[in-house]
Amino acid sequence: MTLPRDYGGQTCALSRSMEIVGERWTLLIVRDAFYGVRRFGEFAAHLSVPRAVLTDRLATLTGAGVLERRPDTGRREVYVLTDKGLALWPAVRALSEWGDLFYPSAGGPRRVHLHAADDAPVGDDGRCSGCGAEVPVGDLVVAPGPGLAPAGPDADPVTAALGRPHRLLTPLLPRHSPREVVER
Amino acid sequence: MTLPRDYGGQTCALSRSMEIVGERWTLLIVRDAFYGVRRFGEFAAHLSVPRAVLTDRLATLTGAGVLERRPDTGRREVYVLTDKGLALWPAVRALSEWGDLFYPSAGGPRRVHLHAADDAPVGDDGRCSGCGAEVPVGDLVVAPGPGLAPAGPDADPVTAALGRPHRLLTPLLPRHSPREVVER
């Protein structure tokens, strides 16, 4: 079911957004793409999303121009955020902050964002607490926070890799992860 | 289907948020609540949402503490944002801005936000272009933008009322709207 297209001008902007990213899982896929997750099998293993649902959501996101397919090794493809997808970062950040605020982990935030230039924490306003600069998403490093439970020995490759600081938008996993057992 | 609760620490914040606001219609209901929509019939008429779905979403939002029920006239109740609900404004704003940017109306933005204190436009960063202040949501006035199509004669009461500037969080409609024909 899609939202009405002739939906009352004042509500169109949000309803159009929700047509694209309002399906369950979709924003989690986009968030993973910001983290550098790129392959079908990586999304599937990390999000524990049914593969048919993941296929549907990736088709929606590529069809809407939020993600684009690029050739990987062999027959494989990777999914990479477009400029339109990158523009979703404020929404992903705002919803993540709301979740952290109202559904906190005992130890504190599960993830913190650092400014790649000086390793200083970046606040909810997107500014570096060190140099004061407004930090573009590509200059953010996502690092484990005090509330993050250590990844278990059977953690999927994405969860394991995110146990270390990682610069957003850079590929999270090597081209052939030994743990990547669910490649399409 | 809810997202896994033991979902990998780094993804919990967003996944918890999406458990609450990730269902279709939910953020549109929250957005309407920011506009001052309060009654079941108002949400139903404005969003053209099936009443059973609206009942389910309002139960989710009140159960999660995003909205609270307050007595209205007679047997009626109104739904009002809690502090937890008010904290969703940055997410609602970010998703609305993304929709305006990538699914624009011909004439420009459908809605603009003004600072109630000086009527100056408020930018995407939430700051008043006049006085420079960071404007709390309760001091925002939502006003028709150049891209807003005029409400037709058969527009629902909410659409009609939003054809005029309106201060967020204040009740949009009088207690007994003559147009409110779908009250529960």
| Model ipTM value | 0.87
Q: Is residue B6's pLDDT more than 70?
A: no
pLDDT score, position B8 = 41
Q: Which residue has the tokens 């494989």?
A: A76
Predicted confidence band of residue B176 (pLDDT cuts 50, 70, 90): low
Residues of B in contact with A27 (CB under 8 A): 14, 18, 22
How high is the pLDDT of residue A16?
83
- Tell me whether B183 touches chain A (CB under 8 Å): no
Q: Which two tokens stand for residue B2?
A: 């809810």
**Cβ within 8 Å, pair B110-A155:** no
Question: How many contacts does A have with B, using Cβ atoms within 8 A?
Answer: 160
Output B114 or A178, whichever has higher pLDDT.
Answer: B114
Report chain A residues whose CB lies below 8 A from the CB of B110. 9-10, 12-13
Distance from CA of B169 to the nearest CA of A (A): 16
Q: With a cut of 90, say whether residue A121 has pLDDT above it.
A: yes
pLDDT at position A6: 39
Is the predicted pLDDT of residue B79 greater than 90, yes or no?
Answer: yes
Neighbours of A52 (CB within 10 A): 8
Q: Does B7 touch chain A (CB under 8 A)?
A: yes
Instruction: Give the pLDDT of residue B7.
Output: 42
Indicate yes or no: CB of B159 within 8 angstroms of CB of A10.
yes
The Cα B174–Cα B172 span in angstroms is: 7
Q: What is the pLDDT of residue A90?
A: 94
Residue B136 has pLDDT above 70, yes or no: yes
Residue of B6, B7, B16, B18 to mutate, testing the A interface (most A Cβ within 10 Å of its Cβ): B18
Would the pLDDT of B2 be above 50? Answer: no
Question: How far apart are the C-alpha atoms of B36 and B165, rounded to whole Å?
Answer: 12
pLDDT tier at A176, thresholds 50, 70, 90: low
Any idea how long chain A is? 184
Partners of B71 in the β-ladder: B77
Q: Using CB atoms within 10 A of its CB, is residue B161 exposed (0-12), middle (13-18) or buried (19+)?
A: buried
State whether residue A107 sits within 8 Å of chain B by CB: no
Q: What is the pLDDT of residue B18?
A: 85
Token pair recorded at residue A70: 């690029």
Say if B68 is an interface residue toward chain A (CB within 8 Å). no
Chain A residues touching B17 at Cβ < 8 A = 95-96, 98-99, 103
pLDDT given at position B10: 40
Domain boundaries, chain B: 13-85, 89-167
Average pLDDT of chain B to the nearest whole number: 87
| Per-residue confidence (pLDDT) for residue B172, from 0 to 100 | 95
Closest approach of chain B CAs to the CA of A74, in angstroms? 30
The span from the first CA to the last CA of chain B, in angstroms, equals: 28
3-state secondary structure chain A: CCCCCCCCHHHHHHHHHHHHHCCCCHHHHHHHHHHCCCCHHHHHHHHCCCHHHHHHHHHHHHHCCCEEEEECCCCCEEEEECHHHHCCHHHHHHHHHHHHHHCCCCCCCCEEEEECCCCCEECCCCEECCCCCECCHHHEEEEECCCCCCCCCCCCHHHHHCCCCEECCCCCCCCCCCCCCCCC
| Residue type, position A149, single letter | A
Beta bridge partners of A143: A112
B1 — pLDDT class (breaks 50, 70, 90): very low
Architecture of domain A13-85: Orthogonal Bundle (1.10)
Give contacts of B151 with chain A, Cβ < 8 Å: 8
pLDDT at site B46: 92
CA distance linking residue B149 with residue B146, whole number of Å = 8
Determine the residue among A97, A98, A137, A172 to mutate to test chain B binding: the one whose Cβ has the most chain B Cβ atoms within 10 Å. Answer: A98
Specify the range with the lowest mean pLDDT, choosing from A109-118, B2-11, B51-60, B150-159. Answer: B2-11
For residues A14 and A38, the model is more confident at A38
Average pLDDT over residues B99-128: 90
Is B173's pLDDT higher than 70?
A: yes
Confidence class of residue A1 from pLDDT cuts 50, 70 and 90?
very low
Residue of A nearest to B161 (CA): A10
CB contact under 8 A, A27 and B23: no
pLDDT at A3 over 70: no
Residue A88, chain B, CB below 8 Å: the answer is yes
Report which of residues A86 and B123 the model is more confident about: A86
Report the Cα B133 to chain-centroid distance in Å.
Answer: 23
Task: Give yes or no for residue A150 having a pLDDT over 90.
Answer: no
Query: Is the per-residue pLDDT at A163 higher than 60?
Result: yes
Asked if B9 is an interface residue toward chain A (Cβ–Cβ < 8 A), one would say yes
Helices and strands (DSSP H and E) totals, chain B? 7, 5
Instruction: Check if the beta carbon of residue B32 is closer than 8 Å to that of residue B80.
Output: no
- Closest residue in B to A150 (Cα) is B9
pLDDT score recorded for residue A9:
42
Give the number of C-alpha atoms closer than 13 A to the C-alpha of residue B100, restricted to the C-beta side: 20
